[in-house]
């Protein structure tokens, strides 16, 4: 768990990895839990399929960045392959 004064944690992912999976990987790394059985259900906070479609849309003419809250974290996903997690 991140302390409120902790610096944001950045997690990179590559093109074959969907944004939703990258978010789960980042959150489970911070929580030090198993990504196969995460304690946080992403779907309770954001629609993973919609996130993947918005971030993975290759015909976008502008940069895409989506931010949302998951449990005690503020998550920002960028189409550049970056997930940033900070205490909310």
Each residue's pLDDT tens digit, 17-41: 999 999 999 998 888 888 788 788 9
Domain membership of residue 17 as a residue range? 9-87
Residue 78, phi then psi, degrees to nearest 5: -115, 150
| Per-residue model confidence (pLDDT) at position 4 | 67
- Rounded distance, CA 3 to CA 15, Å? 30
Evaluate whether residue 1 is within a structural domain.
no
Q: Are β-strands 9-12 and 73-78 bridged in parallel, bridged antiparallel, or unpaired?
A: unpaired
pLDDT: which is higher, 5 or 19: 19
Q: Please state, rounded to an integer, the average pLDDT across all residues of the chain.
A: 88
**Residue 50, number of CB atoms within 10 A of its CB:** 11
Mean pLDDT along residues 9-24 = 91
Evaluate whether residue 61 is within a structural domain.
yes
Tokens linked to 67? 């931010």
Our count of domains for the chain comes to 1
């Amino acid at each position: 768990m991140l302390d409120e004064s902790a610096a944001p944690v950045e997690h990179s992912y590559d093109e074959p990895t969907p944004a939703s999976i990258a978010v789960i990987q980042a959150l489970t790394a911070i929580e030090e839990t198993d990504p196969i059985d995460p304690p946080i259900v992403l779907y309770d906070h954001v629609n993973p399929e919609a996130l993947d479609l918005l971030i993975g849309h290759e015909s976008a003419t502008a940069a895409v960045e989506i931010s949302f809250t998951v449990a005690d974290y503020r998550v920002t996903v960028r189409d550049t392959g970056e997930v940033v997690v900070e205490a909310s």
